[in-house]
Amino acid sequence: MARVLGFGISLGFGLLGFGLLASAQTEPAVTGLARQARLYRQHGYAAQQAGDPEEAVAKYQKAILLDPAYATAYNDLGVSYEALGHLERAKQAYLQCLEANPWYASAYANLAMLSERQGNFAEALVYWQRRAGLGNPGDLWTQRAQERVALLTGKRPTEAVTTLSKGARPEAAARVEGSWQHEQTPPARSPGAGRSRASPPTTLASPPGKSHPELEIEVGRLTNDLAQAYYDLGVAYTELRAYSKAIDAYEKSVALNPAYPQAHAHLGLLYKQVRNDPDKASRHLQTYLRLNPRAADREELEALLALMQRDPLPRSSTGSSAATWGIP
């Protein structure tokens, strides 16, 4: 089973050897297991909301067993472990989430808050900085991360760190409680869920009970969630070798969240290998590197970009590009 969560670039395999896909014969089974994993995750989230973290842990573990690359389930598992007081297990779950998807913003926020609860404010600062660099600027959690970074790097950063050994909670590390305890993405609801098909929508007739700023923040969060959903759809289409649909899904993802580095990276590779469009490939790969300045594959991609500038492929060869670049 392979998911497009990393790029493993090798310039020694022809020109590129990205290993984007698994065998086509295995994909239907993988897709079915992934779908079942998401059902278990929904049940786990419901148990968590009902105040049953032990049941939630059991369901999240089943989801991960079915789809070991399911980053969301690892993040949810960490939240439930924290509810049970298993802080080290929670930390490991968050770290496994980031192994599955290094751009999973919620895990950085949860690691940061867990570090603060344990009194490790220096480590919390690192995680808050990573969280602040991800997501839409209008996202509530992105703003929260920026606030925490500002506080932890304020006028007395040395005090905030040196007081750790005394077990103190400096002003710069004020409480993270209530609605700030964890960052999670609720499972997607089916269209019309919770309402009879015959019932008309009541949104206009019922005041939302939220202020305009709160609604704007919620719209930002939902927009970011939709961008993530389109990215996941692009991954699924890529695994099925439906490259045109994959490109369309990734394009919708970056249209909603232009600061989504991984989606730009996938678009760059697909435009290079499938569409044979060096201009779009270069633009997306450069955007990926700009958004992710510490990318592990920076040197390989910079070498590829330099090569594309020297010897771009003719657009007329688009029909044979998939075979040319080693994509199954």
The answer to which of 201-205, 267-271, 298-302 has the lowest mean pLDDT is: 201-205
Q: What is the mean pLDDT of residues 125-143?
A: 85
pLDDT at 57 over 60: yes
Q: Which of the pair, 216 or 307, is modelled with greater confidence?
A: 307
User: Are residues 38 and 119 part of one domain?
Assistant: no
Q: Which of the pair, 147 or 174, is modelled with greater confidence?
A: 147
User: Are residues 170 and 98 part of one domain?
Assistant: no
Per-residue DSSP letter, 240: T
Average confidence score pLDDT of the chain: 73
Last residue of a domain, one of 51, 68, 102: 102
User: Are residues 311 and 287 part of one domain?
Assistant: yes
With the CA atoms of 84, 87, 89 and 94 taken in that order, what torsion angle do they form, in degrees rounded to the nearest 10?
A: 110
214 domain residue, yes or no:
no
Q: Helix, strand, coil shares of the chain as percentages rounded to 5?
A: 65, 0, 35
User: Are residues 97 and 134 part of one domain?
Assistant: no
Instruction: Give residue 189's pLDDT.
Output: 56
* CB 160, CB 166: distance < 8 Å: no
* pLDDT tens-digit readout, 93-106: 999 999 988 888 89
Encode 24-54: b = buried (16+ Cβ within 10 Å), e = exposed.
Answer: eeebeebeebbeebbebbbbbbebbeeebbe
Confidence band, pLDDT 50/70/90 cuts, at residue 205: very low
User: Are residues 57 and 47 part of one domain?
Assistant: yes
What domain count does the chain have?
A: 3
CA distance linking residue 231 with residue 227, whole number of Å:
6
Confidence band, pLDDT 50/70/90 cuts, at residue 74: very high
Last residue of a domain, one of 125, 150, 182: 182
Task: Supply the CATH number for residue 296's domain.
Answer: 1.25.40.10
Instruction: Give residue 169's pLDDT.
Output: 39
Instruction: Give residue 102's pLDDT.
Output: 87
User: Are residues 110 and 96 part of one domain?
Assistant: no
Last residue of a domain, one of 61, 80, 102: 102
User: DSSP string covering 265-293, please?
Assistant: HHHHHHHHHTS--HHHHHHHHHHHHHH-T
User: Are residues 109 and 97 part of one domain?
Assistant: no
- Whose CA is closest to 32, among 240, 249, 301, 241? 240
pLDDT at 201 over 50: no
- Read off the pTM: 0.49
First and final C-alpha spacing in the chain:
15
217 domain residue, yes or no:
no
Confidence band, pLDDT 50/70/90 cuts, at residue 214: low
30 domain residue, yes or no:
yes
Q: Which domain holds residue 171?
A: 104-182
Encode 247-281: b = buried (16+ Cβ within 10 Å), e = exposed.
Answer: bebbbbbbebbebbbbbbbbbbbbbbbbbbbbebb
Q: Which of the pair, 26 or 61, is modelled with greater confidence?
A: 61
User: Are residues 121 and 61 part of one domain?
Assistant: no
232 domain residue, yes or no:
yes
